[in-house]
Structures are given as C-alpha cells and as structure tokens.
Amino acid sequence: MMADKPSDGKRIDDPTGTELVGHEWDGIEELNTPLPRWWLWTFYLTIIWSAVYVVLYPAWPLIEKGTEGVLGWSSRGDLIDEMGAADAARQTFREQLAAIDVDKLRDNPDLLQQALAGGQAAFKVNCTQCHGSGAAGNQKLGYPNLNDDDWIWGGDLDAIHYTIAHGIRQDEDNGLRQGVMPAFDGAFDAAQLDAVTDHVLSLSKKAQSNAIGAQLYADNCVACHGASGEGDRAQGAPRLDDAIWLRGGSRAEIKAQILNPKMGAMPGWEERLDPATVKMLTAYVHSLGGGEQTVANTADDPVTEPEVDGDEQP
Amino acid sequence: MNSPKPVDGGDELNLYESRKTVHNQRIDGPFRRFKWFVMLVTLGIYYVTPWLRWDRGPYAPDQAVLIDLANRRFYMFGIEIWPHEFYFVAGLLIMAGIGLFLVTSAVGRAWCGYACPQTVWTDLFQHVDRFVDGDRNARIRLDKAPWGPAKVARRGFKWSIYLVISLITGGAWILYFADAPTLFRDFFTLQADPVAYATVGILTATTFVFGGFMREQVCVYMCPWPRIQTAMLDEKSLIVTYKDWRGEKRGSVKKAAKNPDEFGDCIDCNQCVAVCPTGIDIREGQQIGCITCALCIDACDRVMKEVGRPRGLIDYATLEACDAEAEGAPPQPAWKALLRPRTIAYTLIWASIGGAMLFALGVRSHTDLSVSPDRNPPFMLLSDGSVRNAYTLKLRNMESRPRDMEIALSGLPGAMMWTDTIGPDNAARTQIVAVPADATKTVRAYVKASSGTAAQDFSFILTSQDEQRESDEAPTRFTAGEEGQ
C-alpha cells in the first residue's frame, strides 16, 4: 500500500488520508481509526473494578477451596440469612397459630390459608409414607383414606386434632384411641363364619341376611359396631353399613378380618412435632374434602354436618 | 498507554482520541421545523401520558396508561391486558420491529434523525447550549477560553439545567408504573418506594451523561442500530445524499464565476458541517455518524438560494435516482421512493398483524375458566357408594366490577357438584360463585356421581350472570374406579 513519509514521521494512507499504525500483514497495513478516550477510561475502570472485586468477593478457585474475599460474603451465607429471615417471618404466624383453638381457625381466613399451606408441607414430610401423597391411604395395608367422608374416630377439627396429636393404639399414650377388636378364630366354625359374614354384608345391602348370622352378630358384634352396623366412633369401631371398607369389602377380606383382625397403629405426633404444626396438619387433613363441621359450630352455621346416612343419592 | 511507535520513529500514534465537541450551528428550514414538531409531539406524549385519567369504575385504577407490575395488569385507555394475554405486547413489539424495517427501507434512518430518544434529548440539550452559551462561534470561543469565575458560573448554570431536564425525564418514567399524582406526592415527601428513587437516579444519570455529554458518541459507538441498518437499506431507500456529480469540484462563488466549467455547485462554505448535530461531513458519502436528520439539507438549500443556484445539492434521494440524475435523467419526486414492492410488503405485514390484534381485542372474552382435575387420588369412593372427583377451577373475571358466575355441569348425567364453601348439602348441577373485580378466583369443586357411573368426559361451563352472559367451556374427565371397593 502506498504511503508517503512526511517529515513529522507520521505515515499517511493515500486513498483514505488516514494515519497508519505501522502493522503490516502480507502487504496490508492497519489504519489508525482511534477509539474515543472515554472508551479507554471505561476499559481501565473495568480493570480496576475487577481487581477490587477479586479482593472483596470470593473469586479464585484454589485446590481445597476458593478465595473468600475480605467482605466475607458468600451465596451460602445469603441463603442462610434468607432462611433465617423466613423463619423469623413465620414466627409470628406460629405464635398466632399456637394461641388459637383449632376449631376457631376457620374464622381467620388469612391464618387458615397459611395453616393449610404449612399443613400440606408437613403432611408431605410426615404422613405420606402411610397415607400416600394424595392422602388416599392404602386399603391393602389398612391405612385409611383421608379424603372420603368416613371417619373411624371422627372427622371434625377437634377429633382430627386429637388423633394426630395422640396417635392410634399407642400404649405409652393413655389417650382415647385404643379400639380393639377381638379375634374370633376358634369361636366360629365355618358355617357360622359364613353366616355372620353374610349378615355383615347385608348391612350394606351386598348380601341376604340370615337368622344365624343375625343372632351371632347380635351376640358378638353389636356392642361395638351397632345394631345396623353404624359403628361407634367413641371406641373406633368402623361403620359396616357403608361402602367404605378399611381393609377391603370382599367376602374373603371380611372373613379374614373377623378371624384375625388387623388393627393399624399411628404414632402420636404431639411428641414429635410442635403444637403449631399439629394444628396445621389438622387444618389440612380437614380440608381434603371429607372434613366434618365441629358440632359446636353447627348451631350457628346454616351448612349442616355433611356426614349423613348413606342416602345422598341424587 | 500502549502506543506503538511508527516504524520510522517520530511522534506517538494517537490510538485514543478525546471527544471533539460538536458545536452545531442554529439553522432554520423545513426539516428543522419538522424536527421541532416531532420533538414537541414525542416529548409531549412522554411527559403528559401518565397524567391522563380514564374512569374504570371503583375497582380498577383510573390512570389511562398504567403498567401495574404489582398486580400484573397493563392498562391502556379502554384496553386492559392480563399476563396470559401478553401476546398483545409481543404483537406490539413485533409491529414496532416491522415498523422500523418499513421506515428504514422507505426513508433510511428517519427514526434516528427525528424520533429516537437519544436524538430528541440531545437536540434538547443542544438548545440549552445555545440558550446559555450562544450559537456556534460563541460556544467555540467559550470552549477555548481558560477556566475562570465567569466560565465556571456559566457551565454550572448550564449543567444544572441539564440536571433539571434529566431529573424530569427520569421522574416521568416511574409515573407509568404507579398512580401518577400519588407517586408524585410521595416522591417529594420521601415516602415513595426505594425502587422509585433508584430508578429516577439511574435514569437521571443516564440522561445527564448520554444527552448532555456523550451525544453523537452514543450513536456512533454504543448503538447497534447503525450497524444493523445497512441490511435494511438499499439503493432504492431515501437517504440524505450529497450529489457530488453536481457539487464537485468545489470552489468559491468568485472562482466559479471566473471558470464556470471547472467548478461545480458546492461553494465549500462548510455550512452543512457546521449545522450537523453529529459533526460529520455528508460530502464524504454515507457514514455511520449520519442520522439523516437533514439539517444539512436545510443549510445547503439556504446557501444555494443565496448564491442563486438550484436547491437539492444535498437532498433526500435514493442512490439509484442519484446515479440516474448524474447520467442526465430528470430528478425523481421523493414520494416515488416510498411506493415499491418492499415497502408495500412491509406495510401489508405490519397492517395484518395490527388487524389481527385488533380482531383479537374485539372478540376476546372477559370470562375465562380453566379446570385441572385432581390426579392424586383420581377419584374417591364415598360411604354411600357414590364416586367423587375433585377439580380445581380457575374462574377469571377480567372486568373491573365484581360479577356472579354460574358454574354448570354439562354431561355426566345425575352428577352433583359443590365447593368447599357451598358444602355437599347444597350439591346441585349448577352453582353460583361470586368472583371479585379483575381477579382470578380459585375454587375447589367436588363432583359426585352415583354408584356405577362409568368414567367419561364432561365439561364445566362458566357463564357470567350479567347482561353479557359471557361463557367459557372447559372440557375435562370424570374418573371412576372398579365396583365393589
């Protein structure tokens, strides 16, 4: 490329009139089109900034761990702070919840909403192992479904709260949830067993009743399960006149349950969880779709107790 | 600084240059007046819009244009956009993009020259320069003058005007995001959100620096648009061109009078350079610094008139027309450049997107229902043998008044429905739920069908209980299990 050499040493590219920087590759020379000075200063500032940053913040990865920076900042520290702040923010809510009666929760929608969210989380941690993540229970293993309208020990807020707090059949807990069904293995012969099974099935209109079965039922079962199989929540005796069977409603399953009843146990959560969490769990379980009105509330509430006697058919 | 010396020794090369201040001269003419007009309109729209009121009743804000981030609503006069309707905003952005293509292919960088915020505010600040320091020559003198009390006072005065303009600029921005009068009062009584102060601070700083000091350097070094525009311009686009075949060789009026054959029309008065806001010489051809504001046309036309030569030595023209003119063709009227397949295609695309959006706005419903069935558990056997499914319904009332909505079952014979609040005792085929103004209400609905009902598809139908009776249907499925559980 042509370039003249004026006396001041600057070499100018003829076609463009631009100064040359003196770099040449294969006959092509670089023109000098200067950048603005502020651009240069901005570049220097970024270098200074990066140096300051390296000193202040974690930056260089070393063999064991990285440099920590003189500010002592870390993203983990941020997380811990935020978790602490979230805990602190929840503290008021927990105190409010601890102070309130569980059946008064419904009068406080904000608190109820938080309790439901907290209850759902606590349920996922503590309850899904047996009752399933959707609270549908497990019929094979005898874990009750918590969504339906059948409650062995009662389905209003107070009853659910007591059940969660004290558990079911906990020997160390002198609570109320201690129902026991005796085993009739040896007490009935095969014909008697068939007869009483037929009578039990007839309570939910699935078989014809018979005199022997009715008599055996009256002698052995009425005390707990009631004359028409309506059950007794005080003793935890399940209803036999509905469509819901904790351990299956087939003839074989019912026979097995008469001969050698299996009775599930549930730990009491009072010892393991704080009172606020137990209340949140109560609210959540009650909200699953089968929760019953607390009796005390029904008087001034137009919506009556949803638990009715089996003929809700439309 | 890393400055390599030239090979033959000598002065250091200048690899970085301090900014050469552009002292552009005042000019008047049709394009300057158009620039005034555009500045007035754009600044007017920017500053006035947040203060416009629009009565939306008691349940919605009364600001005509409001971007309500907290409640995720966007209000624009009679139009209210919900987050799920964000495609309207996307459509507007696409229209803006295609509009830019259209304008660029038709009239080059007209956006840069007249409507770009950087141009508008730079222009404003240049008028401040002129107001405080005087016109071009006075400003050059003052720039060269040593710093003394008078210069300090003048500069301080000028920069404080810059700062006030910047503050008003940054301040106006936040008014789009909250109720303007309330925020305005809160801002000055120090009760506004820290975000508001931070935003105003940042925008004030950027306006002050970009508009007051960086000016054309933003266009040349920072803005990506001049680099993209070459893809959109062609030889049929209207751009500001110097007709060198007519102007060259440059010479004064006297020289040209002596030797008319040798000299062209350009008298080398440098007026086109003096008035240029980015300080370029258009006679050197197309360049990145040219924002096609056409002030050089105003300047040149005035000079040509004074020396008695035809106007249009520098003019809006297409490169094609320029070449044709050089060959001796008559000048082409500018409007012809606007009508060509490319601009018409852009216009059609632009208009069809606009039309589609208007249509969508016109037919959109203010009532919306979405349903998600519970999957865990999928169904529930009740003690009377019937089967219950649970659904989460989202009832959307996009009107700024509360409305009652009817939820009805369509299909699923014999089924009944209730919600958490209505209760199973009031189970029915239809239920009325009140939905607050401008809100989505989540309702958990239970649907119960008698024992033996087979799994099947059905729908929820939502109907607003007002004169409009808007409705929306949401198909879903009823799940049932085996018998005898």
Is residue B354 a part of any domain in this protein? no
| Residue labelled with tokens 């600084």 | B1
pLDDT band at B12 (very low <50, low <70, confident <90, very high): low
CA angle (A295, A306, A277) in 5-degree steps:
65
Average pLDDT for residues B118-125, to the nearest whole number?
96
Contact B286, B239 (CB under 8 A): yes
B285-326: per-residue pLDDT in tens? 888 899 999 999 999 999 999 999 999 999 999 988 999 988
pLDDT band at A13 (very low <50, low <70, confident <90, very high): confident
Burial class (CB in 10 A: 0-12, 13-18, 19+), A173: middle
Is residue B475 a part of any domain in this protein? yes
pLDDT band at A296 (very low <50, low <70, confident <90, very high): very low
Q: B374, B376, B381, B485: which to substitute to probe chain A, counting the most A Cβ within 10 Å? A: B381
CB pairs under 8 A between A and B: 132
Residue A152: its chain B contacts at CB < 8 A?
none
Q: How far apart are the CA of B449 and the nearest CA of chain A, in angstroms?
A: 8
Q: How far apart are the CA of A254 and the nearest CA of chain B, in angstroms?
A: 12
Separation between Cα atoms, residue B474 and residue B461, nearest integer Å: 6
Whole-number mean pLDDT of chain A?
Answer: 86
Q: How far apart are the CA of A85 and the nearest CA of chain B, in angstroms?
A: 20
Do β-strands B16-17 and A35-36 pair in parallel, antiparallel, or remain unpaired? parallel
Average pLDDT for residues A204-216, to the nearest whole number?
92
Average pLDDT for residues B204-219, to the nearest whole number?
94
Instruction: Please indicate if any CB of chain A lies within 8 Å of the CB of B346.
Output: no
Is residue B429 a part of any domain in this protein? yes
HSE-up of B120 (CA within 13 Å, CB side)? 21
Rounding to the nearest 10 degrees, give the CA dihedral for residues A196, A201, A203, A204: 170
- B287 and B427 both lie in a single domain: no
- B216 and B134 both lie in a single domain: yes
pLDDT band at B78 (very low <50, low <70, confident <90, very high): confident
Domain end point (choices B289, B306, B341):
B341
Question: What is the pLDDT at residue B57?
Answer: 85
Q: How far apart are the CA of A45 and the nearest CA of chain B, in angstroms?
A: 14
Q: Which of B6, B383, B450 sits opposite A313 (nearest CB)?
A: B450
Residue A160 has pLDDT above 90, yes or no: yes
Residue B451: its chain A contacts at CB < 8 A?
243
Question: What is the pLDDT at residue B216?
Answer: 92
Question: What is the pLDDT at residue A312?
Answer: 32
Strand partners, B431: B407
Domain end point (choices B221, B247, B270):
B221
The two structure tokens encoding residue B201: 């601070």
Is residue B358 a part of any domain in this protein? no
Strand partners, B81: B74
Question: What is the pLDDT at residue B482?
Answer: 57
Closest chain A residue to B427 measured between Cα atoms?
A314
Residue B8 has pLDDT above 70, yes or no: no
- B157 and B112 both lie in a single domain: yes
* Closest CA relative to residue B189, chosen from B181, B201, B178: B181
Residue B217: its chain A contacts at CB < 8 A?
36, 38
Residue A92 has pLDDT above 60, yes or no: yes
Answer whether A242 sits within 8 Å of B383, measured CB to CB. yes
| Residue labelled with tokens 């054959």 | B261
Residue B388 vs residues A149, A243, A306, B192: alpha-carbon distances, Å = 10, 13, 14, 51
Average pLDDT for residues B144-154, to the nearest whole number?
94
Separation between Cα atoms, residue A222 and residue A231, nearest integer Å: 9
- B41 and B183 both lie in a single domain: yes
3-class secondary-structure state, position B367: strand
- B51 and B102 both lie in a single domain: yes
Contacts of residue A258, defined as CB under 8 A and 6 or more positions apart, other chains included, come to A184, A188, A193, A196, A197, A200
Closest chain A residue to B446 measured between Cα atoms?
A289
* Closest CA relative to residue A207, chosen from A254, A162, A161, A164: A254
Question: Per DSSP, which regions of B374-438 are E strands?
Answer: 380-381, 387-397, 403-410, 416-419, 430-435
The two structure tokens encoding residue B324: 């044709």
Question: What is the pLDDT at residue A304?
Answer: 37
Do β-strands B65-68 and B79-81 pair in parallel, antiparallel, or remain unpaired? unpaired
- B175 and B37 both lie in a single domain: yes
Residue B86 has pLDDT above 90, yes or no: no
Question: What is the pLDDT at residue B4?
Answer: 45
Question: What is the pLDDT at residue A2?
Answer: 46
Q: How far apart are the CA of B382 and the nearest CA of chain A, in angstroms?
A: 6
Answer whether A10 sits within 8 Å of B10, measured CB to CB. yes
Burial code (b: 16+ CB inside 10 Å, e: under 16) for B299-314 equals bbbebbeeeebeebbb
B28-40: per-residue pLDDT in tens? 999 999 999 999 9
- B63 and B170 both lie in a single domain: yes
Question: What is the pLDDT at residue B435?
Answer: 94
Whole-number mean pLDDT of chain B?
Answer: 90
Answer whether A145 sits within 8 Å of B377, measured CB to CB. yes
Q: B383, B391, B416: which to substitute to probe chain A, counting the most A Cβ within 10 Å? A: B383
Residue-number span of the structural domain to which B281 is assigned: 232-341
| ipTM given for this complex | 0.74
Contact A103, A158 (CB under 8 A): yes
Average pLDDT for residues B212-237, to the nearest whole number?
88
Is residue B227 a part of any domain in this protein? no
Question: What is the pLDDT at residue A308?
Answer: 34
pLDDT band at B90 (very low <50, low <70, confident <90, very high): very high
Q: A19, A21, A42: which to substitute to probe chain B, counting the most B Cβ within 10 Å? A: A21
The two structure tokens encoding residue B41: 């309109």
Separation between Cα atoms, residue B343 and residue B338, nearest integer Å: 7
B268-281: per-residue pLDDT in tens? 999 999 999 999 99
Is residue B236 a part of any domain in this protein? yes
Burial code (b: 16+ CB inside 10 Å, e: under 16) for B98-118 equals bbbbbbbbbbbbbbbbbebeb
**Which of A22-36, A283-297, B253-267, B466-480 holds the top average pLDDT?**
B466-480
DSSP secondary structure letter of residue A280 = H
Closest chain A residue to B4 measured between Cα atoms?
A21
- Residue B459's domain is classified under what CATH number? 2.60.40.10
Residue A86 has pLDDT above 60, yes or no: yes
* Closest CA relative to residue A205, chosen from A228, A231, A232, A237: A228
Instruction: Please indicate if any CB of chain B lies within 8 Å of the CB of A75.
Output: no
B 372-411 residues with CB below 8 A of A? Answer: 374-377, 380-386, 388, 390
Is residue B362 a part of any domain in this protein? no
Q: Which of A8, A39, A145 sits opposite B11 (nearest CB)?
A: A8
Instruction: Please indicate if any CB of chain B lies within 8 Å of the CB of A31.
Output: no
Instruction: Please indicate if any CB of chain B lies within 8 Å of the CB of A243.
Output: yes
The two structure tokens encoding residue A39: 């651009």
H helix intervals, B266-387: 271-274, 295-306, 319-326, 335-338, 341-363
- B257 and B318 both lie in a single domain: yes
pLDDT band at B48 (very low <50, low <70, confident <90, very high): very high
| Residue labelled with tokens 């400055």 | B3
- B75 and B174 both lie in a single domain: yes
Contacts of residue A268, defined as CB under 8 A and 6 or more positions apart, other chains included, come to A165, A166, A167, A170, A173, A175
Residue B1 has pLDDT above 60, yes or no: no
Strand partners, B194: none
Closest chain A residue to B445 measured between Cα atoms?
A289
Instruction: Please indicate if any CB of chain B lies within 8 Å of the CB of A132.
Output: yes
| Residue labelled with tokens 């010892």 | A271
Q: How far apart are the CA of A160 and the nearest CA of chain B, in angstroms?
A: 18
Domain end point (choices B221, B253, B270):
B221
- B211 and B237 both lie in a single domain: no
Closest chain A residue to B3 measured between Cα atoms?
A21
- B94 and B33 both lie in a single domain: yes
B 167-206 residues with CB below 8 A of A? Answer: none
Q: Which of B8, B377, B446 sits opposite A9 (nearest CB)?
A: B8
Q: Which of A32, A134, A248 sits opposite B376 (nearest CB)?
A: A134
- B412 and B458 both lie in a single domain: yes
pLDDT band at A34 (very low <50, low <70, confident <90, very high): confident
Residue B157 has pLDDT above 60, yes or no: yes
Question: What is the pLDDT at residue A90?
Answer: 87
Domain tally, chain B: 3
Question: What is the pLDDT at residue A8?
Answer: 60
Separation between Cα atoms, residue A4 and residue B142, nearest integer Å: 37
As a whole-number percent, the residues of chain B with pLDDT over 90 amount to 66
Question: What is the pLDDT at residue A305?
Answer: 36
Answer whether A37 sits within 8 Å of B17, measured CB to CB. yes
Question: What is the pLDDT at residue A294?
Answer: 61
B393-419: per-residue pLDDT in tens? 999 998 888 999 999 999 999 999 999
Average pLDDT for residues A26-36, to the nearest whole number?
88
Is residue B332 a part of any domain in this protein? yes
The two structure tokens encoding residue B395: 């009832």
pLDDT band at A295 (very low <50, low <70, confident <90, very high): low
Q: Which of B217, B375, B385 sits opposite A243 (nearest CB)?
A: B385
